[in-house]
Structures are given as C-alpha cells and as structure tokens.
Structure 1
Amino acid sequence: MKPASRLHGRQHPQIWNSAAQLADIPIISTQTLIPAGARPVILAPHPGDEIGACGGLLQLLNNLNRPVLLISVTDGALSHPGSPLWADERLRTQRPHPQESVDALGRLGIATHGLQWVRGGFPEKALAEHEVELAAFIGRHLRPGDVVFGTWRKDGDSDHDTVGRAGALAADEIGAAFNELPVWAWHWPVREQNKIPWHRARKLRLDVWTTARKRHAMYAYASQLNGEPANGIAPLVPRVILDRMGMPYEIVFI
C-alpha cells in the first residue's frame, strides 16, 4: 500500500465518496467479467493491494470455486525506513512468506494452501526501473484466455502505474484480457474526477458480509495500520482507506 504521507493535502471530499458519476456506473457480474473456463489473475504491487483493490472480487471468485493466480510483485520490505519497531529482521519475518497477507486472505475465507501464489521479489518503490523485466516475469505466468487484473496505469503511484503498464503489455502479448483496478485514484480531490475513465468503469456489487470481511482482512496488516507517533512515523494506511473499503462495491476499468 502507499505511504500515508503521499496523501497529505488530500482531504474530503474525495472522488470515492463525492463523485456523482459513481451512482451511474453499470453493474457487471463476476461471471460476465470472468467467463467460464477463464482463469482470473490478480497482480498486487505491494502487500495489501490484493485486499484494497479487489478483496471483494477475491471472495466472489472463492464462492464460485474459481481457481485464482495471485502474483505479489513486491514484499513491501522498504515500507518502514528508520523504524525501530519494524526493523529489517522483523519485516523479513512478517513479509517474505508474507504472514500478514496469509492472515488477510484467511480472513476472506481463502485457504492459501489451495491458492496459486507467485511472489516476484521485485524492489518496492523502484518498479519503473524494472518495467521490462516485470512484464516478462508476468508474461511467463500467464496463458491465453486468462483475465488479468492489475492496478490502473494512471493510479498516481509509481509502482501501481508500472504494474498496470507491465501487466497490460504481458496480457496483450500472451492473448489474455486485461482489466484495471483504481486504488489511490479514488482519493484524489473530487475536482479531478474528470480524469477518471468513467466510460470504462463497471461496478461489482458486494453484500454486507463480503464488505465486512474485506475490511476485516485489511486489519491483518498491523505493520501498515499502526504508526509510531513517538518516532514521527505515520500509519502507511490512513483511516480514510479503511472507510472506503466499507463501500458495497468495487470498480473495475474494463
């Protein structure tokens, strides 16, 4: 997830809770988005992005017994520079198998032993420097007919944007469909709503329990939710992110 410091100045109203266009987005079903026989593939730039971007979709697919490939591009090892509480050794313990993500998926009701899960180990905050390599890596794990979900290419975070571009390129070369998931764009000021490709947006409805489990899953990321006021370190995931996760839908750009 993106450091909270990058959200400074982005106060309410934001696009996620103020844009009038949200009410008019066409509804799409899971079965229409991912036809029978197609394999869904989720690209997560950082730990937690698979929950924040599509924790609802993951539950819907699990309910349908659809096998999913999850590709975790980075392990989030650079998320706490200068933190005495989250030193490199502790982060290695928590992230590289990554236990927080295992716990989060479990809270969604997804057993990780039955999940196809690939970890890229790419360097966080420097993905743009490895975009060609990343596209090739993603492509090695795709097959024709897959339906790939990556972060939006214009999401506003360098790593998210890079994963979107690399995922789109890999999918195009292999003959897979590619969809984009906005994450941080929803927290732009509402005056920037004209930058959102509303014509491409589709809405996946989530019931109250699916929404609650998604939010509960995000609380598994203790390393991102708890700041260190004594050390001047803010939470990586600000409260507004959790508020947005209470919305009864997810948006996909098709």
Structure 2
Amino acid sequence: MSAPETDAPGGHAPSGHPLDLAAAASLDGDDGDRGFVVGEEDRGTPASTWQAWRPDLPELAFDDWRRVVVIAAHPDDDVLGVGGLLARLADRGTEVIGVQLTDGTAAYPDSPTLSPSELGRVRVAEARRAYARLGLAPPLRCELQDGRLGEHEDAIAERLRPLFRPGDRWLVPWRHDQHPDHEAAGRAAARVCTRSAGGELWEYPVWMWHWAHPTGSGLGWDSAYLHHLTPAQRDHKRRAACEFRSQLRPLSPHPADAPVVPPFAFERLVSPRELVFRG
C-alpha cells in the first residue's frame, strides 16, 4: 500500500507526491474538495470503532466462484484489502490470478535509503512472499508508473482485457477509495469486467477504513457485503500482510523513511472482517 499523492505524481492518494503516512500530509481529491490527513495529526477512524460496528449486511457467498482475477494498484493493496478471502479461495482450489499494476516505487519519494528502483525490487519480492503465504502463484506485473494510473486508464483496460473470461469474478480497488491510483485501477477494470460481458465485479476498499465512519452516509452500504474471518484465517492474513516490511517498518531513522502503514493503520486492515462492494 504505497502512499497517497497531493500535488504531483507519486504513490498512494489523490494526484501528487506520495503521502508518508507516519509523517502526516494532507490528501486532496481529484474533485478538489475531498481530502484527509493520515498520521499522528489524523489517525482516522480507530480500528476499535470498526470492530464494534455490527452492520446488517449480507455475507459474501463465493461457493460458485471458479476463476477470480484480483487487481491491485500497488503490491500490497490486494493482500491488505481481501487477503483473507484470497487465501480461502486458494484453499478451495479456485483459480486466482493476481495482477499488480505498479511496483509501488513512489512510496518513499525522499528516502535517503532506497531509490525508487531499489524500492520496487523490494516490494515485488514482498508481494511474492505474501502471495506464497496465501497459497497463490506470484502476481502478474504491469510495471506502470506509481501515482499516474489515472493518466493511463485506456492502456490499463487494454492490458487487462486479454485476461477476461465470461463467468469471471474480478476483485478490484474500490472506485471511491479517495486514492487516484486505486480509483483509476477500479474504473479501468470495470470497463473490462462487466455484467453484459458475463463478468461479475467486486470492489474492495483500502483507504476507506481511514477516512470513513460506520455511521457515514453515501458510502454505498446497500451494495456492500461482509467476509468474516475466523481467528485462524485472520492470523493467516496477518502473517501474509507482515511480509510488506518496507511499508510497515522504518527504512531508517530519517523522517522520510517513516513507515507508510503505521500500526494504527495496519490494525484496521487486518480486522476480523473484510468488506467488498458489488460493482
């Protein structure tokens, strides 16, 4: 999970340089009026608030899923978003094809420790280890530019189109996640996997767990489904997610190397429940 952007191309957030989550930075949306800060100044909705939430939402049914394509904008989005579901699908023998659009090279734009290319190699290796822990084959890589996916939606759709087969279920980043790369990835995937073509689209949030609140309106709860994890399944997901050490631990004592996903953010993402929206 690279960091969001603000004013120029970068990693995880609306259009700009990647956000160092631990250092805190403002996040401005594509429409100019949405934004949030992630860090000690704004720790977002606490994990305890989400865990206390008892929504009347249906449980996701996936017994008839035979082939699943999971799209991620950055190397850890899919594991943090729906890693528990991916592990269960793999255990059931479902064909799961992972596709990661970028190598997450923009997560630490000012790092004195790792260059973008070095960081990319680290994150690709982390993703391979995480996928192995989930029982999955290594994800496919597109090596697109981190932070600029919104400029290449047509190209993304064309790259993804050959993967589509009627009857597919696609798990893609939520198109309202308030991160430009996530939203662009979701939009491009939605153009390929449509009901009219015989596909079924499901969208998973990542940043939503920070800026949203269980009592919030306008989030599309009427299209939301829950996936509950047993304690063993949650531990399985946590172990896979912990492979992303470059995002969870400081690269060095330098402020620019502070972790992208601090502990309070990580706990929201490895909760006992995963959530998806029907596209």
SS at match of 1:209: helix
- Cα distance change, pair 129–22 in 1 and its aligned pair in 2 (3 A): farther
Q: Which residue number in structure 1 is paired with residue 171 of structure 2?
A: 149
Q: Which residue number in structure 2 is paired with residue 78 of structure 1?
A: 106
Q: Which residue number in structure 2 is paired with residue 217 of structure 1?
A: 240
Deviation track 1:154-198 (CA, whole Å, cap 9, x = no partner) reads: 101000011111111111274311111111111115387213111
Return the alpha-carbon distance in structure 2 between the equivalents of residues 39 and 16 of structure 1: 34
Would you say the 8 A contact 1:180–1:253 is kept in 2?
A: yes
Alignment pair present for 1:103 and 2:129: yes
Give the number of equivalent residue pairs: 244
SS at match of 1:30: coil
SS at match of 2:143: coil
AA in 1 matched with 2:171 = F
Return the alpha-carbon distance in structure 2 between the equivalents of residues 106 and 148 of structure 1: 20
- Cα distance change, pair 155–111 in 1 and its aligned pair in 2 (3 A): closer
Instruction: Give the alignment partner of residue 148 of structure 2, picking from 114, 126, 129.
Output: 126
Shift of 1:85: 1.8
Structure of greater relative contact order (alpha carbons < 8 Å, 6+ residues apart):
1
Segments of 5+ residues of structure 2 without an aligned counterpart are: 4-20, 25-36
- Cα distance change, pair 88–195 in 1 and its aligned pair in 2 (3 A): same
Higher strand share: 2
Return the alpha-carbon distance in structure 1 between the equivalents of residues 69 and 185 of structure 2: 13
AA in 2 matched with 1:51 = V
- Cα distance change, pair 163–124 in 1 and its aligned pair in 2 (3 A): same
Alignment pair present for 1:59 and 2:87: yes
Percent of pairs identical after alignment? 30
Alignment pair present for 1:199 and 2:245: no
Return the alpha-carbon distance in structure 1 between the equivalents of residues 256 and 105 of structure 2: 19
Shift of 1:14: 4.7
Shift of 1:136: 1.4
Alignment pair present for 1:10 and 2:42: yes
Would you say the 8 A contact 2:43–2:264 is kept in 1?
A: no
Would you say the 8 A contact 2:53–2:214 is kept in 1?
A: no
Instruction: Give the alignment partner of residue 160 of structure 1, picking from 144, 168, 182.
Output: 182
Alignment pair present for 1:136 and 2:158: yes
AA in 1 matched with 2:98 = L
Deviation track 1:22-77 (CA, whole Å, cap 9, x = no partner) reads: 4322112321xxx25x3111001101111111100111101101111111111112
AA in 2 matched with 1:159 = D
Return the alpha-carbon distance in structure 2 between the equivalents of residues 14 and 167 of structure 1: 30
The structure 1 segments of at least 4 consecutive aligned residues displaced by more than 4 Å after TM superposition are 18-22
AA in 2 matched with 1:219 = C
Shift of 1:16: 7.8
Segments of 5+ residues of structure 1 without an aligned counterpart are: none
Q: Which residue number in structure 1 is paired with residue 266 of structure 2?
A: 242
Higher helix share: 1
TM-align CA RMSD: 2.3
Shift of 1:93: 3.4
Range that drifts further, 234-243 or 130-139: 234-243
Would you say the 8 A contact 2:111–2:256 is kept in 1?
A: no
Return the alpha-carbon distance in structure 1 between the equivalents of residues 257 and 246 of structure 2: 12
